[in-house]
Amino acid sequence: MMKLSVLEKLQQTNADAEIWWDSSPLVFASWRDEQVRKAPDNEARDHWIAQLDRFLNPDDPSRSLVRGVTTNPSLIAKSIISSPELWGREVQNLARYQTGQGGQEMFWLVYLEAVRRAAEFMFPMWASTGGRYGWVSGQIDPRDMFDADRMMEQAMQIARLAPNLMVKVPGTRQGYEVIRRLAARGISVNNTCSYTVPQFVTCIRAVETGLDEARRQGIDLSRWRCVITHMIGRFGSQGDLIAQADVRDIALCQAEVRWAEIAILKRIHNILSGCTAPIKMLLSSLQMDDPTIGSATLSMHLQETAGANIIYTCKPEFIEKTMIRAEEVNQFDCHAIERSIPKAVMEKLERLPYFRQAFEPDGMLPENFGRHGAFLATQAEVNCWMRRLIDFTDCQMQVVSGRTRRSMLQVAAE
């Protein structure tokens, strides 16, 4: 008898819910094989093989649980740096034929090539489903989050790479201007680095305005898609929620931190349910709950949102944990998304400015989105990976430069 995975059970709570892969699809095969090798026994191994065979199959969407792919600069950088033999040769080949390019320009060429290959991998699914599934998100350079013109230039470069690419744009004031301009051109978008209700409200307005412009110009929107990424696990873990609670002598347990994240999500879900634009929420940074500190759930992020028409994009390590702890979930409540946040928890959370700013639709002005605690933490992490990727390309270019210099010296000696 087929044994469903945790994520398959979750997807069954709403036919329109989607599971996405939060990494480069190019690494899926090696990751899958590694997980199978880790199986604790033969029975688990057989179940894992069957589940992972159903998990991602772009050539046969009817057999694939995954419906799309999210990438970001950090994930792309990790993928490239962890495969130095493959990508080292790519950078060196580019360096030979792209003469006059500096390290910054070479980094961007390599980044675009990695995004293009991910889109190519998922294209069969996109083509066979008429553009409904098989989308891949390609993000602009995070160092340009506050430069609308620069982001727009990069967005157009990404959009031209493949028809199944949606451009990933950060949730800054300038980012929402770019999203409006992209929607007006009929270019699919993914709003990333979003943690708060005010960001979602601003994005909805930008999309609606852009789509109105597109319709006036007669642009075909039949395959246009928009998702807004709610980086749910980063709100509680990387922002100021816990620090503000400590200063005010408010004790927050793991479940209450999760409730803060879920309260924001459920408010956004209600807002989107009344939205006329075809926008879907995408949950990223999903977290498992720790039973050693009193948690009675596998993942509140999954169990309190079951039944919603949303997308769950899952990192490889998150999927691995759901496989290991699969016995903790028999089934999901398909009405969980409708449940209210416990009153006592809400009263505690509403004493924290960090929560109120994120929960109230007018809690933040657009110019302050880029100063939000979780935004700043994410920005610092991504910029670190960008520097590492740039250094990787620089090293490979130096290899080519050294070989060229040696060849020139040999010729001169002859």
C-alpha separations of 172 from 135, 182, 213, 394, 404 in Å: 23, 15, 21, 30, 44
Terminal CA-CA length for the chain: 73
How many residues are there in the chain?
Answer: 414
Do 185 and 219 form a contact (C-beta atoms < 8 A)? Answer: yes
CA distance 365 to 11: 35
* pLDDT tens per residue, range 210-228: 999 999 999 999 999 999 9
What whole-number distance in Å separates Cα of residue 181 and Cα of residue 174?
11
Multiple choice CATH, 6-413, 3.60.40.10, 1.10.287.1080, 3.30.70.20, 3.20.20.70: 3.20.20.70
Residue 397: predicted pLDDT: 82
The distance of Cα 72 from the centroid of its chain, to the nearest Å, equals 6
Contact 283, 230 (CB under 8 A): yes
Position 97 scores a pLDDT of: 67
Residue type, 289: D
309 with 280: CB under 8 angstroms?
yes
Give residue 413's pLDDT. Answer: 45
Query: How is residue 24 written in tokens?
Result: 């480069």
Q: What is the pTM of this model?
A: 0.91
Number of other CB atoms surrounding residue 108 within 10 Å: 16
pLDDT at 293: 83
pLDDT per residue, tens digit, the chain (414 aa), is 679 999 999 999 999 999 999 998 988 999 999 999 999 999 999 999 999 999 998 788 888 999 999 988 888 888 888 887 778 887 787 777 665 556 677 788 888 989 999 999 999 999 999 999 999 999 999 899 999 999 999 999 999 999 999 999 999 999 999 999 999 999 999 999 999 999 999 999 999 999 999 999 999 999 999 999 999 999 998 889 999 999 999 999 999 999 999 999 999 999 999 888 899 999 999 999 998 887 789 999 999 999 999 999 999 999 999 999 999 999 999 999 999 999 999 999 999 999 999 999 999 999 999 999 999 999 998 888 888 888 888 888 887 665 544 443 343 444
For residue 98, the model assigns a pLDDT of: 63
**The predicted structure's pLDDT at residue 76:** 83
Tell me, what amino acid is at 225?
A: R
At 72, is the secondary structure helix, strand, or coil? coil
Among residues 11, 9, 12, 2, which one has the least CA distance to residue 50? 2
Q: Where are the domains of the chain?
A: 6-413
Q: Which helix (H) or strand (E) holds 204?
A: helix 197-216
Note the pLDDT of residue 100: 57
Cα atoms found within 13 Å of the Cα of residue 373, Cβ hemisphere only: 16
- pLDDT given at position 179: 98
State how far the Cα of 324 lies from the Cα of 326, in Å rounded to an integer: 6
How much is the pLDDT for 83? 80
Q: Annotate 11-27 with three-state secondary structure.
A: HCCCCCCEEEECCCHHH
